[in-house]
Structure 1
Amino acid sequence: MPKREGQGRTRTVFRWLLAAIYLIAGVAHIRSPAGFLAITPDWVPFPEEVIFFTGVAEIIGAVGLLVPPKLVPGIRYGAGIGLALYALCVYPANINHAVNNIAIGGTSASWLYHAPRLAFQPVFIWWALIAGGVITWPFGKK
């Protein structure tokens, strides 16, 4: 399939935007863990440490998406896989938040927030894979 005009730019914008989202989220996990701890399911061991390390993982993944492949071969690919797995692993916390209507900062979110958030999680997984160059759909060949 021939390369479509703007495809490289679109992928770059997707990659930078996802990196920014994960960088901000990672810093939030480390600086303000209370909200994340509130939605962490009870079965998660060492929740404070898990929240801290999820923040570190988000930051590392974000940086990995931005490092030029010529500098560190395979880093974007690894970051894409890592962030996709991360998005899959935190899904239970999002489900817990929604199903148990857990208030964060004294405020409960309605299903107008939870339903799109839960539905968007597979998109985050796809987004990480596309940003890391693991998959190319729907942008065609690399």
Structure 2
Amino acid sequence: MKTDKAAEDKHGLARAIVLAVVFIWFFIGGIAHFVFTELEMKIVPPWLPEHRLLVLVSGVFELIGALGILFTPTRRIAGWGLIVLTIAVTPANIYMWQNPGQFPEVPYWVLSLRLPLQLVLLVCIWWSTRVPENRVGT
């Protein structure tokens, strides 16, 4: 029994750390949408309309999601919202990767790592915001 409790505590600590990383990622990212709006607009693919509006709306959703994962009652739905948002911004990451010359300040290896890291981010969001098995139904 003691081993189960230790494993549960270990998973709880790991989940809390990953949740904190996800929060910081989206909270800082959301603020960046308002502080560096013009820069953020450059990564929106040209085929999408209303670059400023898209940047500001996605910034609002990043902040709402970041704050939502802090509270147990909203954590799960906020997590799913951040997953959808992360998938929705994938075209910007692909656009940057396909057009590295337009982003000379970003090393190509960073652009190349963004998509695999986005998959890691998706897993982190899902894992840290899901309801642990032992709490389902309680």
Give the TM-score, by structure 2 length.
0.85
**2:57 counterpart letter in structure 1:** F
Q: Deviation digits for residues 81-119 of structure 1, max 9, x if unmatched?
A: 000111111011011011111545xx3423211111121
112, 128, 131: which one pairs with 1:131? 128
Task: Provide the residue aligned with 1:45 in structure 2.
Answer: 49
Which structure's residues are more often helix, by fraction?
2
Identity among equivalent pairs (%): 28
1:13 aligns with 2:17: yes
The number of residue pairs the alignment matches comes to 129
How far apart are the structure 1 equivalents of 2:21 and 2:43?
25
Q: Which has the higher contact order (CA 8 A, sep 6+)?
A: 1
Runs of 4 or more consecutive aligned structure 1 residues displaced over 6 Å after TM superposition: none
Task: Provide the residue aligned with 2:95 in structure 1.
Answer: 96
Give the TM-score, by structure 1 length.
0.83
Point out the structure with max Rg over C-alpha: 2
45, 53, 58: which one pairs with 2:62? 58
Task: Provide the residue aligned with 2:82 in structure 1.
Answer: 83
**1:41 counterpart letter in structure 2:** P
How far apart are the structure 1 equivalents of 2:43 and 2:122?
20
How far apart are the structure 1 equivalents of 2:68 and 2:127?
14
Segments of structure 1 that go 5 or more residues without pairing to the other structure are none
Q: Is the 8 A contact 2:100 2:108 kept in 1?
A: no
Q: CA RMSD in A?
A: 1.7
How far apart are the structure 2 equivalents of 1:44 and 1:94?
13
